[in-house]
A and B are shown apart, each in its own frame.
Chain A
Amino acid sequence: MKPSPFAYTAPSSLDEALAVLAEVGDDAKVLAGGQSLLPILSMRLAAPAHLVDINRISELAYVRVEDGGVRVGALARHVDVERSTEAHTVLPLLRQALQLVAHPVIRNRGTTVGSLAHADPSGEMTAVLALTGGSVEVVSSTGTRTVPAAEFFLGPLESAVAGGELAVSAHFPSFPERTGTAFVEVARRHGDYAMCGVAAAVTLDADGAVVSARAGYISVGPTPVLLDLTAAVSGASVTAADWAAAGELAQSQTEPEADIHATADYRRHLVGVLTARALAEAAGRAA
């Protein structure tokens, strides 16, 4: 279990990185925290000819509150985002989700943008990006594009970042006033990828009635799934809302598949249960 050989570059600036990426292009892999890439290399499931290590590009190591949300640079570790008080203030969902990402030691090294670029549909942050309606800024030597969440995740382990490109930051917009959020999941062991996970956001009006109930799902499809469930609970108060009905609505719109840890039916069942739990918890926080 040792990686195949590769050529290695560790640029110290973004410009330098883009120049290298332009040169080595499709044969290259970007190395961020390495918490997903290194196991893949060591198991020789991938053998890129070139590795471009972005860990020296300190200009990308930031977590900022900006443009009505949180912008996370490509070198911000999960732990930086999780612990940022400013980020937590404008978007508590980030911390709620990150605490479910692996174990703290993995979060010390893994990057949030890396987990988006990795596009594992079981990764919590993919659902967060989807639910917040966020976007990823992708640059190459030829320019910059901002890819909205809905277009960023193309399939399992496949994102819109193309060869020669670097995802430099992700933007997670915060929610309107009187919105509560929650992240609820069921994993086999504490810290494992979830069999099903739900990020929920519920917005109330001034009288406490639900005006919006939406949820993002992990581990139930090839990409994170985003559902608007407002129809099931619209206008209801937090205590009177039929969250289970929202869960049923979600079930009718998801097509999870089986794997060795869960049958498809069990996953679908979890979609219902966890939707209700997540929405209720989110609504409680909105009130």
Chain B
Amino acid sequence: MTTRLFGEPVLRVEDVKLVTGRGHYLDDLGHDALAAAFVRSPHAHARVLDIDVTGALDVDGLVAIYTYEDLVASGGAVADRLPLLIPHPALHAPRTGYPLARDEVNHVGEPVVMVVARDRYVAEDAAERIMVTYDFLPPVVGVAAARAADRCVHEDVPDNVAAHLKQEVGDVDAAMAAAPHTLELDLSIERSASMPMEGKGVLARWDAAEGSMRVYSSTQTSTSVRAAVAARLGLPLSKVHCIAPMVGGGFGVKIMHPWPEEVLVPWAARELDREVKWVEDRREHFVSSAHERGQLQTVQVGFDDEGRLLALDVRFWHDNGAYTPYGIIVPIITSTQLLGPYKPGAYRVEFWSLYTNTVIVTPYRGAGRPQACFAMERTMDAIAESLGIDRAEVRARNFITPAEMPYDHQLTFQDGRPLIYDSGDFPASLDKLKKLVGWEQTLAEVEAARAEGRRIGVGLACYVEGTGVGPYEGAHVVVESSGKVKVATGLTTQGQGHFTVFAQIAADELGVPLADVEVVTGDTRRFGYAVGTFASRAAVMSGNAVALASRKVRAKALRIAGDALEADPGDLEIVDGVVRVKGSPAASIPLATVAVLSNPLRYAFDEASKAATQFAVGDTSGPPVREDDEPGLEGTDYYSPVGATFANGMHAVVVETDPETAEIKVLRYCVVHDCGPLINPMIVEGQVHGGVAQGVGGALYERMEYDENGQLLNASFMDFLMPYASEIPHIEIDHLETRSPLNPLGIKGAGEAGVIPSAAVFASAIEDAEGFVITAMPISPSELFELRRRHVAGDIPSLRRAGSQRAGPDEVVAQDVVEAQTNQEKPT
């Protein structure tokens, strides 16, 4: 038997190309293309009064300058507002921008003028000489200012509220009133961003003779960019193709589309009948791509003497930036995924999505879940603290048990479908984590270290992640007459190893060697129907689609081989690319030959194809292609789930803070992860490592530092502090593999997992080390220093467990606590 590849740490097939410098990313294409650059707004909020391009006109190498007026003049939809991608009834005041500013700019970085020139150097020379006159408007920066609504972003949205959504399950007010204990928390979390190492980029080739457009974009969704370009340029879909070449990371920012440049670059290519390319530079990426995370939250929780949740009442204010092209997916996810592995009792969640004069907010890996996990896990720690119960124990008491699966939260999830957990064994996951960490022992060690004057703390956080959301993905699988298998799926790849993972699946299903399978993703010429790569959905959606399409091909191969071998297809197997009769392997036919036979021919073009020509094929009783059949050994199939499948994980971290400098050092980082059966454990662990690293960045280093004028003060890698290897700990991982009942492979998504609990787990650990409550993340040494001072001054109360004892369950002194932990609200 061929060894099964599913579950094996197969080395990635794409790597040889990538490590030898032969991968082609966007800017590696189109060397002769004209280059685009943009004049972007230097102001957060202003009216555009005048654009004077005369200074730029004599720049040698300049090809064209375009403003909004030119878009209008060219006619058609290109001058329209960019689309609202995901409408929602609660999004009552959606606003999107124009590809080039019409009369108003709403964040620093918004494109105002497009310049096309011989190369990027010259394009920047020209852009620099274009004078735009602005009339300043007062900017709204930060959630607090948006809430206060003394000023507004959009004149016709005076309260800055783009959306307001409330969901309630059970009677929260009654349950809260009846709860023996209640607590309130005020929390805040700041903006970060996906920040892939490769920025965005678009290359467009217009073929005037054919009237067709080929667009290359560094995108997470080529099918949808294609559709958007066709619509905006008034082209038939069949005349537009979009290809995502190798993409240097996405993490969410490239699922947003069409970016202004994705419309403008193809448009300019057609206007000029020249190839045009735009490659985003890092500064542009900071001020004109998307950010995420910023929220203010309040939590009120009611619980019993055991720490069991009775009522949970959450309100939060979400910063959606200047526009809402991606709808309100992020806050919806926060509001639903907040519940994690717990039964909340009665639950009410209400959010306001607010406009600010800052870069738009669209999903960044985790997509609202890190904020959700932060709210829930801070609450769990607060309950544990107030009752003096072990933090792991409080969580365990609130878990949904395996017997309760599938568990219906009676809420509506981000895909518009009911929030029903399909699988997971949370108690088992926690046990694994406690074992991995050595929970009791670590707590004891921390205690001992503390006695020596060191500040060490342990943190813990759990999450559940809805992955693999619909609507669907598909795959096309064909066995060529060479015996090679070509797989195409429409979603895109940004480093997740799809070329390998999908090949593993196809190879297993078809019984061919991995080396014979080649996978193509994100190329609409090869597969036109797809949604995109986001929400940890690729493996689940396309993985299952590849399996289903392969199964179709296999069935057909067995049928044709059965005819040729005069055997019952049920008695056949495919091993190493050869179809053979089980038990008598001598009776066999290579899959390559089956492929030849599947396509009846009139003309032979090589030795192999002779076998399928009209005088070679024996059976003349029926038509060469049967009525219910098609030529070719190929199949297409789709996977469309009834709902998301829910992965989960639990993280623990041990940190040490410097008593003097307030530097925060990570001593250990442990992960238990359940994404169902692992297709390729090496790749899954890589995804977890990467997520954790982004999480460490988000918790301890990264934030978007806007000043009150809406200027982003740290728009460079010098000051936006993504961690280097020196900042990332060694990560210890263990897996639990509970199958999803929802899909044929039983798998769940893994892409976002690592990043979700970071803010929560670090807050938990730093709080433990410091002995006072942490309510705002991220946290820097400077901020920790300021918190310490306020703690010493009595502005921030000590944890009860601080000092000598960490109360075990026996020492519980249950007490009614209504603590308003409002003391650390941060200016936003």
Query: A and B touching (C-beta < 8 Å)?
Result: yes
Interface pair B124/A186, CB less than 8 Å apart: no
Question: Is B661's beta carbon under 8 Å from chain A?
Answer: yes
> A264: nearest residue on chain B (CB-CB)?
B782
- Kindly list chain A residues whose C-beta atoms are within 8 Å of the C-beta of B660: 273
Q: Mark A228-259, 1 if CB is under 8 A from B, else 0.
A: 00000000000000000000000000000000
Q: Mark B697-717, 1 if CB is under 8 A from A, else 0.
A: 000010001000000011010
Cα distance A191–B721 when bound, in Å?
Answer: 11
Q: Which of B20-28, B230-238, B240-248, B722-730 contacts A (4 or more CB under 8 A)?
A: B722-730
Interface pair B786/A188, CB less than 8 Å apart: no
- Kindly list chain B residues whose C-beta atoms are within 8 Å of the C-beta of A273: 660-661
Interface pair A265/B786, CB less than 8 Å apart: yes
Question: Is A43's beta carbon under 8 Å from chain B?
Answer: yes
Interface pair B128/A189, CB less than 8 Å apart: no
Question: Chain A interface: which size bin?
Answer: 20 to 34
**Contact for A44 among B128, B705, B716, B719, CB less than 8 A:** B128
Q: Mark A179-204, 1 if CB is under 8 A from B, else 0.
A: 00000001011111001000000000
**Contact for B780 among A2, A5, A261, CB less than 8 A:** A261
- Kindly list chain B residues whose C-beta atoms are within 8 Å of the C-beta of A3: 121
Question: Is B781's beta carbon under 8 Å from chain A?
Answer: yes
Cα distance A192–B721 when bound, in Å?
Answer: 9
Interface pair A188/B124, CB less than 8 Å apart: no
Interface positions, chain B 765-807, Cβ under 8 Å from A, are 780-782, 785-786, 789
Given A186-B781, A260-B719, answer yes or no on A4-B701 (Cβ-Cβ < 8 Å). no
Cα distance A188–B724 when bound, in Å?
Answer: 11
Given A188-B721, A190-B726, A191-B726, answer yes or no on A2-B661 (Cβ-Cβ < 8 Å). no
For residue B707, give the distance in angstroms from its CB to the closest CB of chain A.
9
- Kindly list chain A residues whose C-beta atoms are within 8 Å of the C-beta of B705: 260
Interface pair A5/B786, CB less than 8 Å apart: no
Cα distance A3–B660 when bound, in Å?
Answer: 43
Question: Is A178's beta carbon under 8 Å from chain B?
Answer: no
Interface pair A2/B782, CB less than 8 Å apart: no
Given A189-B724, A191-B724, answer yes or no on A1-B128 (Cβ-Cβ < 8 Å). no
> B785: nearest residue on chain A (CB-CB)?
A266
> A262: nearest residue on chain B (CB-CB)?
B782
**Contact for B781 among A1, A39, A266, A274, CB less than 8 A:** A266
Interface positions, chain B 633-664, Cβ under 8 Å from A, are 660-663
- Kindly list chain A residues whose C-beta atoms are within 8 Å of the C-beta of B662: 266
Question: Is B283's beta carbon under 8 Å from chain A?
Answer: yes
Question: Is B15's beta carbon under 8 Å from chain A?
Answer: no
Question: Is A129's beta carbon under 8 Å from chain B?
Answer: no
Cα distance A259–B124 when bound, in Å?
Answer: 30
Interface pair B724/A186, CB less than 8 Å apart: no
Interface pair A4/B663, CB less than 8 Å apart: no
Question: Is B563's beta carbon under 8 Å from chain A?
Answer: no
For residue A275, give the distance in angstroms from its CB to the closest CB of chain B.
11
Question: Is A270's beta carbon under 8 Å from chain B?
Answer: yes
Question: Is A263's beta carbon under 8 Å from chain B?
Answer: yes
Interface positions, chain B 115-132, Cβ under 8 Å from A, are 120-121, 124-125, 128
Interface pair A189/B661, CB less than 8 Å apart: no
For residue B579, give the distance in angstroms from its CB to the closest CB of chain A.
55
For residue A123, give the distance in angstroms from its CB to the closest CB of chain B.
14
Closest 7 CB pairs of A and B: A190-B726, A1-B281, A266-B782, A262-B782, A2-B121, A273-B660, A266-B785
Residues of B within 8 A of A (CB): 120-121, 124-125, 128, 281-283, 660-663, 701, 705, 713-714, 716, 718-719, 721, 723-724, 726-727, 780-782, 785-786, 789
